[in-house]
Amino acid sequence: MRALVQRVAEASVAVEGQQIGQIGPGLLVLVCAMQGDDDSAADKLAARVARLRIFRDDQGRMNRALLDTGGAALVVSQFTLAADTRTGNRPGFSSAAAPEDGRRLYEAFAQALRQLGIATETGQFGADMQVRLLNDGPVTIWLDSTDRA
């Protein structure tokens, strides 16, 4: 699984003009399931997101994790993180998981964050969403569940 993590002062997601998720300080997590991913990838990625030390400590250093701060997570599905741009000008998305697998793993990822004690809001899988955020820093980190054992 892949995630693009942004430290935010606030973030929200809407579908057809209706807000369906909103958080204050925390993380906006854009997430994509890839072909071959399973529930362990969702759990592993959620643990990495929850423990990623990108929040300021008392000295202003990025030394605290979401678990330390009590912040929330807004999880939004984004299959375009699977984009293959190696050839041509039109990205390919064939490495993304099939929609039914993508939905299941997206939901498993959000649930894994909740089980770690993180207040978690979500977007709507497969919907055309409008995401608003106030990036804090800015801090934006790319994670992939296959990058680390």
Check if 140 is active-site: no
CB-facing half-sphere around the CA of 7: CA atoms within 13 A? 17
- The residue from 6, 18, 59, 79 that is catalytic is 79
**Strand ranges in 40-112 using DSSP code E only, listed in sequence order:** 55-56, 62-64, 72-77
- The residue from 19, 35, 80, 146 that is catalytic is 80
- The residue from 78, 109, 120, 122 that is catalytic is 78
Check if 19 is active-site: no
- Determine the longest span between alpha carbons in the chain, in angstroms: 47
Check if 79 is active-site: yes
Amino acid, single-letter form, for residue 68: D
Q: Which residues are catalytic?
A: 78-80
